[in-house]
Every structure is written in C-alpha cells, then in structure tokens.
Amino acid sequence: MLAGAGVTACGGGSSSASGDKTITYWATNQSTSLDADKKILQPEIDKFTQQTGVKVKLEVIPSADLLNRILAATTSGKGPDVLNIGNTWSASLQATGAFVAWDKELLAKVGGESRFLPAALKSTGATGKDPASLPLYTSSYELFYNKKLFKAANITSPPKTWSEFVADARKLTKDTNSDGKTDQWGLGLQGASSSFAAHFAGGAAVLVLTTATGAHAEGRGDVRVVKTVVNGGGNVIVGTAKTIRYPVDITIKDNSGVKGLTHVSTFNRTRLYSFADWNGDSSCTKKNATTSVCRATLSIDPAWIADSDDIDSNKLAGVWQVNATVKAKDGDYWISDDIAEYKVKRAAQLTTVIGPEKVTKGSKATVTGKLSRADWEDRKYHGFTGQQVKLQFKKKGAVHYGTVKTVTTNSTGNLTTKVTVTSAGSWRWYFPGTTTTSLKASAGDTLNLK
C-alpha cells in the first residue's frame, strides 16, 4: 500500500498584505479518530511553519469521505493546496487536470527522482506522464506460513507467485474431523488488529497460513495467558452519546513473575473492524510469585464510531474477540490472539404507556410503547421493527413481574395491545435482546381500579 502527497492547482491558500502565507492541507484519517490524527500531525506542521514561515490550515477528513471531497473540489475549483491520497487514485485524479504535475524541475527541488523508489514513483500517475503526486509512505506486507501444515499437505516450499499462493491455500483448507464443516483454513488475514493493519503508516498486514482451530499465538519462553474476562463477563452496551469504558482482566502466568501487558486489541470477529480504543495504560495485581491479573481498560466513544471505518458501523455489533501481548520479568513474551470473546451491542430504549390510568375491574385498557435502538451512524435512536416484546404485569404489593402476552413491533417499532384488567398494579414491556441489541425493560406504568 502506498500513499502520495499531491499539490492541487485549485488550492485555497491565501496571502495577507503583510506577506503572511497560509496553505490548506487535507489529511486522510489514518488513526482511531480525527482528533488522534491531529495530535500527530500538528506538531510536525508547527515545525514546518517555524522553518518556512508558511502557516498550514489542517483538516483531517474521514477516509470514506475523502474521494467525494476531492472530486467536488476539482469541479468547483475550491480545494486544498496539498492533500494525501492512496496511489490507486493517482492516475484517475491526474486526468482531472486539477493536480500540479511534478516535472523534473519541480522534482529537483525535493531531491530529484533518485530520492524515491522507482516503483513507488511510477505508481503516482499514468504511464508516460509526470507524477501527479509524491510517495509519502508505504506499508509492508509479510507472509508467514506453518511448516508443519505445509509438510502434512506435501507442500515442499512457500509460494513464490500468486497462483502458487492460491493453490497452496486450497490444499490447506480442510475438514479435519469429517463432520462436514471446514475447520482448517488455508488463509487467515489478521488485518483487523491495529498492530497489523495496513491502514496505518508503517503497519504490516500479515497473511497467515495456519489452522483455524484455537487461538493463534507466538512468542518466546513459558509466559502464558491462562484466563481472560471482559467487562466482568457482561455485554458491552453502546448508545449514542456516552463514552463507554470497560475492563479486560487478563490472568498471566510465568515462572519468573509477570511484568505486564504491552499490547491489547479487540475487534468484531466477522467484519474484522474495531472502534474500541486502548490508551496503553494497564495495572497488574500479583496473586502469587508466578501469577498476576493485569487489567486494561478499553473505551468506545459514540462520537467517532462512524468516522472510524468505511462500512456501516451498525454491522459491527455482535461477537468481538480480544488479542494481547504479555511479558514476563525474565523477558519472555507471548502474542496471543482470540483469548476471549464477548458481545458489543447497540443500546435499546423501551417505553410503556397504559390508559386510562383508572378502570373498573373486568374492563379493557390499552397498553402502548415503543422499542428503539441506537444507530451508530447518525447517533440517534430509531424504531426496531419486527421484534417480539413481552408485556408483563406486577400486581400491587407483589415483587416480580410475570409475562401476560408477547407482541411484535410494527414498522416503526411501536407496540399496542389491549388487556382485561382484574387488579391494580404495574405494567411494562420487556425486550430480551438479540445478538446485536441489548435487552431492555421499560419503566412500569401503574394502573389503579376505581
């Protein structure tokens, strides 16, 4: 993966009467949030201003929005002076004529062609034309393979071409226990962990040819993770406003004693994306000479969930996994993947209204309500349709609610039903939840007899 820095002919820079120069710079969102990118970029921009006297107006743009913003700018003529793009866009954006061509004279001002790898420079524009941008950074890719599995499949050496790669992956994909289900996969892509992700400059995407049974682990020595508990064993419920913080307690064992955690990550098992953040802090409680429980706290801020990925973030609700790298006092370390599973769910809201509030015994009353759940894209609650919700009643003076009937939400998430009243008490709706949405019990609404 290669990213380039482009200079546009439709820049929005300005000069004041005093000679001050300001340029605009669009940066692609590369970190866990827009603010995190700004914290990294701004100090470098400040150094640039000190050296040149040129001020820089920075805007970090979500990766999902960048191309549309660029195309709009090339049409309107109102865009940045400098921006960074992926090299896959270079040739097509070059064709718009909005980018300054890096001819030999311009290249000489930044060190000339020899400063860049030929292949990298070649990918910054169409063949036979001057580059439309300059190589800014690249991400490396490494291929690891399991020698034991290769030998068992009679594969004598790692693949050297893509066709060999595909052929080997097919040989390694098997149903090892003859139950009709594939349980060994020839290819595993660990691109979801921020420690491997190719989205980050300098990161490495790792292709792993290995078995899918059990957690992947590697390291040195005898330090091991023996137990992991996320959020006390409960689900992580995320709404639309409040930042959620939850603990990951990892029990670690080593004969020399435990030093701590050096890395913790988590992501959705199916989609391989994440919007949870670990700030690097952790604390360890010593249980005995060889065992400690180390706690890392993860956080999810709904304000930047939608900007953290380029898919519908709501699809990331469901089963997540935890990865961690642990270290012992004698220098042993262990990289452990999938040491725990837990669910990240969309928060639900549920209301109950019963009327009239006073009725005679044996008469009818109407119970209404609405089930809605958090939308992580627009940070609002919307009706949850087609869901079975239990209507429950608690007689006056009783302790527990009992289920009276089950009602299905309509196309807007609303509920309505009629009940025959035999005694005073409290009515409520109860939603048991789904794999992606939290359970919710509404507050009770009291009905009295005349």
Using pLDDT thresholds of 50, 70 and 90, give the confidence band for residue 206. very low
Residue 394 bridge partners (DSSP): 426
Same domain, 174 and 267: no
Range from 16-30, 212-226, 408-422 carrying the lowest mean pLDDT: 212-226
Using pLDDT thresholds of 50, 70 and 90, give the confidence band for residue 255. very high
In DSSP notation, 239-280 reads -SSSPEEEEEEEEEE-TT-EEEEEEEEEEETTT-----EEEE
- Report CA dihedral (45, 49, 55, 58) to the nearest 10 degrees: 0
Which tokens sit at 436? 């992606």
Most confident of 54-63, 122-131, 205-214: 54-63
Nearest to 427 by CA among 337, 330, 353: 353
Alpha carbons 428 and 445: distance in angstroms, whole number: 6
State which of 138, 153, 185 marks the end of a domain: 138
Same domain, 65 and 185: no
> Percent of the chain beyond pLDDT 90?
44
Residue 320's alpha-carbon distances to 159, 178, 277, 317, 368, in angstroms, are: 32, 28, 13, 8, 35
pTM for this one? 0.55
Q: Residue 321's pLDDT is what?
A: 93
Same domain, 357 and 415: yes
Most confident of 6-10, 274-278, 427-431: 427-431
Q: What is the DSSP letter of 315?
A: G
Nearest to 104 by CA among 121, 86, 126: 121
Q: Does pLDDT of 420 surpass 60?
A: yes
Same domain, 251 and 182: no
- Give residue for tokens 């691109």: 191
Same domain, 109 and 145: no
Same domain, 195 and 113: no
Positive or negative, the CA dihedral 66, 67, 73, 79 is positive
- Report CA dihedral (298, 300, 305, 308) to the nearest 10 degrees: -20
> Percent of the chain beyond pLDDT 70?
87
What pLDDT digit, counting tens, does each position of 39-84 carry?
A: 889 999 999 999 999 999 999 888 777 877 887 777 666 778 888 8
- Give residue for tokens 């239990």: 390
Using pLDDT thresholds of 50, 70 and 90, give the confidence band for residue 196. very low
Which tokens sit at 278? 């670990």
Is-contact 107 113, C-beta < 8 A? yes
Q: Residue 159's pLDDT is what?
A: 87
**Which CATH number belongs to the domain containing residue 325 in this structure?**
2.60.40.10
What pLDDT digit, counting tens, does each position of 212-251 carry?
A: 333 445 677 889 999 999 999 999 999 999 999 999 999 9
What pLDDT digit, counting tens, does each position of 130-158 carry?
A: 888 888 777 666 777 888 888 888 999 88
Alpha carbons 147 and 156: distance in angstroms, whole number: 9
Q: Residue 14's pLDDT is what?
A: 55
Alpha carbons 436 and 372: distance in angstroms, whole number: 13
Q: Does pLDDT of 440 surpass 50?
A: yes
Q: Residue 217's pLDDT is what?
A: 52
Using pLDDT thresholds of 50, 70 and 90, give the confidence band for residue 5. low
Secondary structure (3-state) at 74? helix
Alpha carbons 166 and 178: distance in angstroms, whole number: 23
Q: Residue 203's pLDDT is what?
A: 27
Residue 406's alpha-carbon distances to 93, 389, 421, 423, 432, in angstroms, are: 57, 6, 17, 20, 11
Secondary structure (3-state) at 39? helix
Secondary structure (3-state) at 44? helix
Same domain, 264 and 290: yes
Alpha carbons 204 and 194: distance in angstroms, whole number: 9
Q: Residue 301's pLDDT is what?
A: 94
Q: Does pLDDT of 193 surpass 50?
A: no
Q: Does pLDDT of 253 surpass 90?
A: yes
State which of 345, 369, 388 marks the end of a domain: 345
Same domain, 320 and 399: no
Q: Does pLDDT of 190 surpass 70?
A: no
- Domain residues for the domain of 436 are 348-449
Q: Does pLDDT of 211 surpass 70?
A: no
Q: Residue 241's pLDDT is what?
A: 95
User: Going by C-beta distance under 8 Å and a sequence separation of 6 or more, which residues neighbour residue 121?
Assistant: 113, 131, 134, 135
Using pLDDT thresholds of 50, 70 and 90, give the confidence band for residue 195. very low
Tally of domains in the chain = 4
Instruction: Count Cβ neighbours within 10 Å for each residue of 54-84 and write b for 16 or more, e otherwise.
Output: ebbeeebbbbeebeebbbebbeeeebbbbbb
Same domain, 354 and 424: yes
Secondary structure (3-state) at 192? coil
State which of 291, 313, 345 marks the end of a domain: 345
Cis ω before 356 (30° cut-off from 0):
yes
Same domain, 377 and 445: yes
Q: Residue 101's pLDDT is what?
A: 83
Alpha carbons 265 and 309: distance in angstroms, whole number: 16
Q: Is pLDDT larger for residue 343 or for residue 83?
A: 343
Q: Is pLDDT larger for residue 26 or for residue 375?
A: 375
**Which CATH number belongs to the domain containing residue 360 in this structure?**
2.60.40.730
Same domain, 328 and 375: no
**Cβ neighbours around 279 below 10 Å, total:** 10
Which tokens sit at 183? 């349980």
Q: Is pLDDT larger for residue 14 or for residue 327?
A: 327
Same domain, 275 and 311: yes
Residue 363's alpha-carbon distances to 360, 415, 422, 449, 450, in angstroms, are: 6, 20, 8, 10, 11
Q: Is pLDDT larger for residue 1 or for residue 45?
A: 45
Q: Residue 197's pLDDT is what?
A: 35
